[in-house]
Structure 1
Amino acid sequence: MRLHRLDITAFGPFGGSQSVDFDALSAAGLFLLHGPTGAGKTSVLDAVCYALYGAVPGARQSGSGQGMNLRSDHAEPRTRTEVRLDLTVAGRRLEVTRQPPWERPKLRGKGTTVDKAQTWLREYDGAAGAWKDLSRSHQEIGAEFEQLLGMSREQFCQVVLLPQGDFARFLRADAEARGRLLGRLFDTQRFADVEKRLAERRRATEARVREGDAALLADAHRMQQEAGDAMELPELAPGDPGLADAVLEAAAVARVTARERLTVAHCRLAAAESAHAATRRALEDVRELARLQSRFAGARQRAERLQERAGDHHEDRQRMERARKAEAVAPALELREAAEEEHRRAARAEARARGMLPDSHTDAGVGGLSSAARRAAEELGGLDAARRAERRLTGLAEERSALDRQDRADEDVLREAETWLAEWDTTRAALQSRVDSAQEAATRAEQLAVRRDPMRGRLDAARTRDRLAADLEEAQQRADASGQRALDARAHWLDLKEQRLNGIAAELAAHLTDGEPCAVCGATEHPAPARKVAGHVDRETEDRAHRAWQQAETRHTEDDQRLSAVREALAAATAEAGDTPTAQLEEAAAELEREYARARRDASALHAAHEELRRTEQEREQRLTDRQQAAVRAASRLTRRDALEREQAQLEAELTKARGTSGSVAARAAQLERQVTLLTEAADAARTAEDSAQRLKDADARLADVAYRAGFDTPQAAADALLDPAAHRELQHRLDTWQTEEAAVRAVLAEADTAHAAQQPPAEPATAEHAAATAERRLREAASARDAAARCCTELDRLSARATEAVRRLAPLREEYDRVARLAALTAGTSADNERRMRLESYVLAARLEQVAAAATARLQRMSSGRYTLVHSDDRTGRGRSGLGLHVVDAWTGRERDTATLSGGETFFASLALALGLADVVTDEAGGVRLDTLFIDEGFGSLDDQTLDEVLDVLDSLRERDRSVGIVSHVPDLRRRVHAQLEVVKGRSGSALRQRGV
């Protein structure tokens, strides 16, 4: 990648338009970017990063990498912020232009509006000699540059814009911090994902194995419940080896015991069935004897009760005979009663009909009434035409009323339409203003949404910073306390050791035996062996104090490691959050959220405003149409009203003749209809009354004749002998019951078995029932025991088969778990086979760090005149894991030491060499993309003249690879040594750029 030209407008501290000719600066190979503090040296590098990735370096972002905070405060209100970069990458000449969101004054009216961010990408076509457009999509252009460069924004800022401060921290950081930085640069997330995936698979497989063992144990518990004391469960937990074999062995023992119990239950059941059958037969014999004896006694009692009721039975038979004779007279009686009832109804109907007639027709006969009804009907038929005319006249009046209502409705429509249309212009302007306001709010909400996530991230980092600041003090106190305890424990151990050495003679004397040589002097006589004094310290006490010191030392080491981790985390959080107080960030974040909520709330009315404007325009069209149609209807109603008035006059003349003295033709017709109806009903009622009187006379004669032939003196005597259906059924039931009971008694008394049983002694069924109940209870118990034993065998067979199948299914799963567990432990660095406890990701990063150290050493030796060499170390540090150690070898002393022990100047050129080496390795990792332009930011002020010359020689040697290096510094001595310069001049109206020595 080679930069050609950079154009900046209203960006950062640059209020106007500034240009940088990188081709002229790069011709010298080494150029200097300098200026006073705060002039904007770093903003030039920010502009390069923003042009490529649409965001500035992470440490300098404030809210959003492409937000309006990039705009210069010195710029004119109508000058838009813009960055244009011309560069060559991967053999292609490209030009990218970016414009961040811009809050500008409105073209009309007061206030401001926000324009969206704009991005253009063009490519130079050498054959055509012209630029051609490629894309205007912000996301597509960012993805295109990330693919061409092979680096993310973070990698680019670390490789091309070399921040020395980051690498100085890298030299002093521990393995975990180095791992995080290298992981971001070399994208080793896939290896971390492999570790995570293997760990997840191990947990999942282990859970499945435990789940299978738990199911197997559950089946074993169910088998134990079925088998009772015949089965003992193994004392193993899910996941323990040997669980399956132990469960299957216990199940086999339980099945054999259950089958033996089933055989014994079968034998007991056969014996109980035989005893139960014998007692049931004896019980049935006793019950039969008792039944026959009770049957004979009951028959004798029933015979005695029949003899007592013999007189009543004779009277019932005589009464039934008279009722049968009276049944022949019943039809004539019913006929006479029906004729009498009919005659009474007809007489009442005739009286009621004659009472409603006029006095002139009250005494008329049937013929007179019929003649009067015919005359009234003929007069009614002549009024049909008049009634139709009268109905038409009523319809005409209703039609004219409807025309009047339509006139009033159309007048209301015309008046309302005119009123509404008069306010149309004002209404439309108000609705359009609502649409415009909602649209501006939607645009503002999009711009604010871009700034929310970075602000939240910075706020979280600030909170983490505050929390870690408190944790740092606590960790420092804990480390100091544990260090003091370790010193006290060591002093105590040394005191005890000294006391033991002072009394070691007594300890040796305790093992002396007369006649045996002394282990010290060899003498066989021991006249005065030393004796233990009070408070003697033995070896066990000394060892216990030594172990206490070691444990205290271990805790002190752990506390120091935790303190280092807290310091590193605090530095990272401070780098991300800056020095801004958390309360201020919370207030800024809350204000941003409130602005975003207000914008979203105002923007939510956009759709409703559009819809209301559309509905209002539709209503205007409808009201114009209604006004036109109302005018047309009013004209047509005038013609119709004239025709109705002529027809009404004609009909009123006809009806005046037809009404006569009545108020209307309808009233006259109703009067005649009522008269015809009353006369017709009266004639019919009189005719019906005459017919019913004749039928009543005939029924009386027939009834007297039938009663005489049936043997009754009068019809009333026959009526008294009749029985109603209920009484007849009751009497017949008593007669039938008597006959049935008499026959049944004679039959029972004639039975031979019953008579023989009556001569036997009284039966005792209670004793037989007790014996049968006892035998049945024993049979149920035996059957229940047999069924329980059978169920137990069946359930044990089923559960054993299921357990065997479960063991068969679990076998490959156990093998898979063992294999995955070994792999997961190996990649996580916890396996005994992983001697250095190095994780897979750390292993890959260690290889990368080894490459970086080798590439950095080539330059570090030259900068340090061959004194220093960077080497990678994979030794373990403390109790942690190994793989990311970095040491420096000092050729003057021949010793290897940690990079954190370098002085300030040594740290600078070591970090510079490390940065250049990392740039080479990341470039190769990215696919060999050439980086022809590099920038080095600050740090030269800590070097002496000789070291500075050596460092500049190394940088100047980069031209051998056709590279140009830009040094960002305000060190005065560099202005004499580097001739090609880009100066940033600070002024009240903003900063400006000047190129010198090119």
Structure 2
Amino acid sequence: MRLHRLDITAFGPFGGTQSVDFDDLSAAGLFLLHGPTGAGKTSVLDAVCYALYGSVPGARQNGQGMTLRSDHADPATRTEVRLELTVAGRRLELTRQPPWERPKKGKRQGTTVDKAQSWLREYDAAAGAWKDLSRSHQEIGEEITQVLGMSREQFCQVVLLPQGDFARFLRADAEARGRLLGRLFDTQRFAAVEKRLADRRRATEAQVREGDTDLLADAHRMQQAAGGDLAPPQLAPGDPGLAEAVLGWAAVARSTAREQLTIAHCARAAAESAHAAAERDLDDVREVARLQRRFAEARERARKLEERADAHRADRERMERGRKAEAVEPALDLRDEAETAHRRASADEARTRAALPADHADAGAASLAAAARKALEELGGLASARRAERKLADLLSERAELDSEERADEDVLQDAEGWLADWDTTRAGLQARVEAAQEAATRAEQLAVQREPTERRLRAARERDRLDRDIDEARADVLRLAERAGEARTHWLDLKEQRLNGIAAELAAELVDGRPCAVCGGTDHPAPARKDAGHVDREAEEGALTAFQRADEERAEAERRLGDLRRALAAASAEAGDTPTDRLAALAEEVERDYAHARRGASDLHPAQEALLHAERERDRRAAARQEAAVRAATRNTRRDTLERERAALEEELTQARGEARSVAERAGQLELRAARLTEAAEAVRAADDTAQRLKDADARLADAAFRAGFDTPQAAAAALLDAAAHRDLQRRLDAWQSEESAVRAVLAEPETAAAAQRPSADVVGAERAAEAAARRLQRTVSAWDEAERRSAALDRLSARAAASVRRLAPLREEYDRVARMAGLAAGTAADNERKMRLEAYVLAARLEQVAAAATVRLQRMSSGRYTLVHSDDRSGRGRSGLGLHVVDAWTGRERDTATLSGGETFFASLALALGLADVVTDEAGGVRLDTLFIDEGFGSLDDQTLDEVLDVLDALRERDRSVGIVSHVGDLRRRIHAQLEVVKDRSGSVVRQRTTA
């Protein structure tokens, strides 16, 4: 990787745009980046890192990006970093712009935030032009990480060598070294392996414990099933031998349960035999008692039959007479029907004769029928007159409708004539209304054009007045804050001068006997300076500086606000002019009032046009209605004459036809009623004659049937006749008597019943008590047998379940043992790991050994062959081993800790370690060639000879076109290194100056 050019704009301390030509600096192989403290030397390296990775190194990175912007930059200038470099044979250009809070465009107040932007371009040598690759932050980050083969942390350790970090690395303990090496060599996968093994160990241990818990739960269930007499093994989950102990205890419990089941089975068999014998005895006693009750009941039933013998004979005689009377029943029914029909016919004859005229009251059936035919003939002659009467009614109805239509048309004509008489006045008024609304609309449009500029000038005038007041206040704030900033700066400079005067006392406070002085390097301190009563320390000076910076920022903010207000006032004055605000307000109010009045008038345009259109349609409708009414009047006159002629003819015809009746229909109704009454009376007379003859014939047949059946009179036969209910009741009593008599004879004739009656009374209660006692004994033995069987079955089932659990847990126990041994070995806690070294520490120890070997090559040259760095895996105290680092002194032949090196020795030892680490990390990242390196600070602690040796080593890095940049403010290096990049600070921001000639 070789850097070519870096452009920085509004970044860090650089307020403007600064450019660094690395090609020119790298031509000398070794160049110096120097400048006073706080000028921005490190910010140049931050810009390189930010261009590559979108963030700055280490603690300077806060993830927000907005703080990267220079406080000295113009508000309209955006922060930007552009870097051109060559890596893996590709010439790339990276441009980064962090988020930017800028003023809103135009005359709008406030600020807005533009998002961060990135560009990646590649130079196409064949085309001789730059080609865009991506503008995505994520894609650019992935591309740079892949082509460099290093993360941001690795790049900052390999290319930007921070000597302070490696000085701490030399003095750090194993844990701190492990954290740094882990970030550089990405050994998180080995730590992940350790964590994965530990997680698997915990998971398998939990599974084993869970299985043991289930096994112990089964053991407790077996104890409950066995009755609680046997105690299970007193072991905890995870204890060795738990499975064997539980299985052995389960075998003993099963054997005991089977013995108890055999005993219960024998007891149950004996109880079943005794219970069967008792049940047989009880059945025999109950049977004897039943037969004895049966015989006694039969004797009682025979006695009751004897008592009811007379009633039974009477029922038989009545049944016999009823059967004889059944032969007479048809004649009785026929005579009753004939009598009922005759009474009905006689009543109908009397009713119909009562409705006849007096001259027909005693007429016979033939005379009544003849009179009915005569009335019907006369009714038939009135059919034509009835039709004429209906036609006359329709004619009169039509004439009445014509009169009603004539009155309606007269109303229409009168209304239309009255409305059309005022049409000209109505049309003129509506047209005037439309024209007035049109004029108001035109006026409203003209006022709308004037309204917006007037309101805009009024708003600008009010803003102008407000800004005048704000500017006076802002001007007073600027004067007050400027005075306070000057006082704060004077106070800070006074404190700084006092601290510089007493800096010797502050340095002397850090001296320790036997430790070299940071200024002169001596280990003896005979007369250190003392702090006086008014001594100013670093905290006081920094507090005063912070107060000054805060006051200066407030002053600058007040000046910026005053400038914003003045620009806003100029814009408002240009818009409002010199017209007073009250005059503009009055003018705007007058325009708004006229505009509202015009709008109200214009709003009537559409209603007025609609009203005119509606009036014209109404005029057309009324004119057409008047014409139609005149046509209908002429048609009605013709039709009225025709109807009058037809009415006269029909009335003459109807006068002859209706006679004395008021109408033909009334005359026809009278004839219809007379014919119907005569016809009904004739039929009633004939029916009465027929029913009288049938009644006479029925009386003769009834007398003959009663005599043949053996009855003296028909009335005697009717009295002996039984209805259905009486017959069923009598037959039921006879059948019941016969059935009961047969049943009693059958029972009394049974041999076993008669034999049982001769025996003593059966003792059923005693037999039942004996059977109940046997049943209770059987129930107890059956319950005991069921309990023993359930206990045995439950123990068999739980034992099989426990055995299955043991078989299932066996592979899991083996896996747990294997995983636990591997996890303990990787974590450094196993007994086999003698040095207690974790897996990640083991890998890092190998990397540290490579780094120590690579660093020793340069350290020996820097120290003239005196020092050698070696890796140590010995344990320190009670901690773990693997990341120890010692230095071997060739002058004494002894090995000692790196923390015992002096300040200068620590510098070149850490420099050698950083260069060695850079080589190893580069190989680890895929062998990417690093043509540009930076070394940050630390050269002030070297003497001239050591400085020469260190520079010789750095010169060796320039082999094969490699360049090294030294970041330092040591004055001697400016004389030794001719290619220089100087950073100069100023109140308006830092600038860079590049020099490449001696």
Instruction: Specify the SS of the correspondent of 1:872.
Output: strand
Residue 63 of structure 1: how far off its partner (Å)? 4.1
Which residue of structure 2 aligns with residue 57 of structure 1? Answer: 57
Which residue of structure 2 aligns with residue 103 of structure 1? Answer: 101
Which residue of structure 2 aligns with residue 550 of structure 1? Answer: none
Deviation track 1:88-140 (CA, whole Å, cap 9, x = no partner) reads 11122111122223334444551444333322222223333332222222211
Kept in 2, the 8 Å contact 1:342–1:692? The answer is no
What are the residue-to-residue correspondences of 1:721-740 with 2, within 5 Å? 740=739
Residue 302 of structure 1: how far off its partner (Å)? 4.1
Which residue of structure 1 aligns with residue 558 of structure 2? Answer: none
Kept in 2, the 8 Å contact 1:369–1:682? The answer is no
What are the residue-to-residue correspondences of 1:595-674 with 2, within 5 Å? none
What are the residue-to-residue correspondences of 1:533-552 with 2, within 5 Å? none
Which residue of structure 1 aligns with residue 145 of structure 2? Answer: 146
Residue 877 of structure 1: how far off its partner (Å)? 2.0
Which residue of structure 2 aligns with residue 966 of structure 1? Answer: 965
Which residue of structure 2 aligns with residue 577 of structure 1? Answer: none
Which residue of structure 2 aligns with residue 8 of structure 1? Answer: 8
Question: Which deviates more, 102-111 or 705-714?
Answer: 705-714
CA distance in 1 between counterparts of 2:83 and 2:277 reads 116
CA distance in 1 between counterparts of 2:282 and 2:927 reads 110
Instruction: Specify the SS of the correspondent of 2:101.
Output: strand
CA distance in 1 between counterparts of 2:908 and 2:248 reads 74
Kept in 2, the 8 Å contact 1:30–1:965? The answer is yes
Cα distance change, pair 284–79 in 1 and its aligned pair in 2 (3 A): same
Stretches of structure 2 that go unaligned for 5 or more consecutive residues are 352-371, 406-436, 450-545, 551-609, 645-665
Kept in 2, the 8 Å contact 1:149–1:929? The answer is yes
Which residue of structure 2 aligns with residue 287 of structure 1? Answer: 286
CA distance in 1 between counterparts of 2:379 and 2:741 reads 72
CA distance in 2 between counterparts of 1:377 and 1:733 reads 77
CA distance in 2 between counterparts of 1:844 and 1:284 reads 97
Which residue of structure 2 aligns with residue 46 of structure 1? Answer: 46
CA distance in 2 between counterparts of 1:6 and 1:254 reads 88
CA distance in 2 between counterparts of 1:265 and 1:692 reads 105
Deviation track 1:53-112 (CA, whole Å, cap 9, x = no partner) reads 111123112342xx3332223333333322111111112211112222333444455144
Instruction: Specify the SS of the correspondent of 2:265.
Output: helix
Residue 176 of structure 1: how far off its partner (Å)? 1.5
CA distance in 2 between counterparts of 1:377 and 1:788 reads 112
What are the residue-to-residue correspondences of 1:487-526 with 2, within 5 Å? none
Question: Which deviates more, 52-61 or 835-844?
Answer: 52-61
Deviation track 1:903-938 (CA, whole Å, cap 9, x = no partner) reads 444333332222222111111111111111111222
Kept in 1, the 8 Å contact 2:55–2:63? The answer is no
Residue 840 of structure 1: how far off its partner (Å)? 0.4
Residue 45 of structure 1: how far off its partner (Å)? 1.0
Instruction: Specify the SS of the correspondent of 1:875.
Output: coil
Cα distance change, pair 199–300 in 1 and its aligned pair in 2 (3 A): same
Residue 762 of structure 1: how far off its partner (Å)? 1.2
Deviation track 1:644-695 (CA, whole Å, cap 9, x = no partner) reads 989997999999999x99xxxxxxxxxxxxx9xx99x999999999999899
Q: Which amino acid aligns with 1:938?
A: E
Cα distance change, pair 852–341 in 1 and its aligned pair in 2 (3 A): farther
What are the residue-to-residue correspondences of 1:410-489 with 2, within 5 Å? none
What are the residue-to-residue correspondences of 1:319-334 with 2, within 5 Å? none
Kept in 1, the 8 Å contact 2:226–2:791? The answer is yes
CA distance in 2 between counterparts of 1:684 and 1:747 reads 81
Which residue of structure 2 aligns with residue 21 of structure 1? Answer: 21
Cα distance change, pair 97–735 in 1 and its aligned pair in 2 (3 A): farther
CA distance in 2 between counterparts of 1:209 and 1:262 reads 36
Question: Which deviates more, 844-853 or 241-250?
Answer: 241-250
Instruction: Specify the SS of the correspondent of 1:834.
Output: coil
Q: Which amino acid aligns with 1:95?
A: E
Residue 835 of structure 1: how far off its partner (Å)? 0.3
CA distance in 1 between counterparts of 2:806 and 2:59 reads 59
Q: Which amino acid aligns with 2:42?
A: T
Which residue of structure 1 aligns with residue 941 of structure 2? Answer: 942
Instruction: Specify the SS of the correspondent of 1:55.
Output: coil
Cα distance change, pair 870–654 in 1 and its aligned pair in 2 (3 A): farther
What are the residue-to-residue correspondences of 1:735-746 with 2, within 5 Å? 740-746=739-745
Which residue of structure 1 aligns with residue 834 of structure 2? Answer: 835
What are the residue-to-residue correspondences of 1:799-838 with 2, within 5 Å? 799-838=798-837
CA distance in 1 between counterparts of 2:963 and 2:738 reads 141
What are the residue-to-residue correspondences of 1:916-935 with 2, within 5 Å? 916-935=915-934
CA distance in 2 between counterparts of 1:216 and 1:270 reads 38
What are the residue-to-residue correspondences of 1:142-541 with 2, within 5 Å? 142-228=141-227, 233-305=232-304
Deviation track 1:483-533 (CA, whole Å, cap 9, x = no partner) reads xxxxxxxxxxxxxxxxxxxxxxxxxxxxxxxxxxxxxxxxxxxxxxxxxxx
Residue 287 of structure 1: how far off its partner (Å)? 0.7
CA distance in 1 between counterparts of 2:971 and 2:840 reads 44
Kept in 2, the 8 Å contact 1:155–1:184? The answer is yes
Which residue of structure 2 aligns with residue 437 of structure 1? Answer: none
CA distance in 1 between counterparts of 2:236 and 2:131 reads 73
Q: Which amino acid aligns with 2:967?
A: V
Cα distance change, pair 991–125 in 1 and its aligned pair in 2 (3 A): same
RMSD of equivalent CA atoms:
5.4
Residue 162 of structure 1: how far off its partner (Å)? 1.7
Which residue of structure 2 aligns with residue 995 of structure 1? Answer: 994
CA distance in 1 between counterparts of 2:345 and 2:174 reads 125
CA distance in 2 between counterparts of 1:696 and 1:301 reads 67
What are the residue-to-residue correspondences of 1:689-708 with 2, within 5 Å? none
Q: Which amino acid aligns with 1:41?
A: K
Residue 755 of structure 1: how far off its partner (Å)? 2.5
Cα distance change, pair 276–973 in 1 and its aligned pair in 2 (3 A): same
Instruction: Specify the SS of the correspondent of 1:960.
Output: coil
Instruction: Specify the SS of the correspondent of 1:838.
Output: coil
Kept in 1, the 8 Å contact 2:862–2:949? The answer is yes
Instruction: Specify the SS of the correspondent of 1:959.
Output: coil
Cα distance change, pair 253–717 in 1 and its aligned pair in 2 (3 A): same
Kept in 1, the 8 Å contact 2:322–2:720? The answer is no
Q: Which amino acid aligns with 1:12?
A: G
Instruction: Specify the SS of the correspondent of 1:114.
Output: strand
1:31 equivalent to 2:31? Answer yes
Percentage identity across paired residues of the two chains: 72
Which residue of structure 1 aligns with residue 457 of structure 2? Answer: none
Q: Which amino acid aligns with 2:3?
A: L
Question: What TM-score, normalized to structure 1?
Answer: 0.62
Instruction: Specify the SS of the correspondent of 1:38.
Output: coil
Which residue of structure 2 aligns with residue 433 of structure 1? Answer: none
Which residue of structure 2 aligns with residue 876 of structure 1? Answer: 875
Cα distance change, pair 210–282 in 1 and its aligned pair in 2 (3 A): same
Deviation track 1:382-404 (CA, whole Å, cap 9, x = no partner) reads 89x99xx99xx9xxxxxxxxxxx
Which residue of structure 2 aligns with residue 982 of structure 1? Answer: 981
Which residue of structure 2 aligns with residue 83 of structure 1? Answer: 81
Question: Which deviates more, 264-273 or 185-194?
Answer: 264-273
Q: Which amino acid aligns with 2:128?
A: G
Q: Which amino acid aligns with 1:963?
A: R
Deviation track 1:410-451 (CA, whole Å, cap 9, x = no partner) reads xxxxx9xx9xxx9xx99xxxxxxxxxxxxxxxxxxxxxxxxx
Deviation track 1:222-270 (CA, whole Å, cap 9, x = no partner) reads 3444444785533333333333333333333344444444433333333
Kept in 2, the 8 Å contact 1:92–1:123? The answer is yes
Q: Which amino acid aligns with 2:14?
A: F
Q: Which amino acid aligns with 2:7?
A: D
Question: Which deviates more, 641-650 or 82-91?
Answer: 641-650
Which residue of structure 1 aligns with residue 125 of structure 2? Answer: 126
Cα distance change, pair 755–853 in 1 and its aligned pair in 2 (3 A): same
Kept in 2, the 8 Å contact 1:330–1:719? The answer is no
Cα distance change, pair 717–925 in 1 and its aligned pair in 2 (3 A): farther
Instruction: Specify the SS of the correspondent of 2:957.
Output: helix
Kept in 1, the 8 Å contact 2:6–2:20? The answer is yes
Instruction: Pick the structure with greater CA Rg.
Output: 2
Kept in 2, the 8 Å contact 1:339–1:695? The answer is no
CA distance in 2 between counterparts of 1:685 and 1:177 reads 137
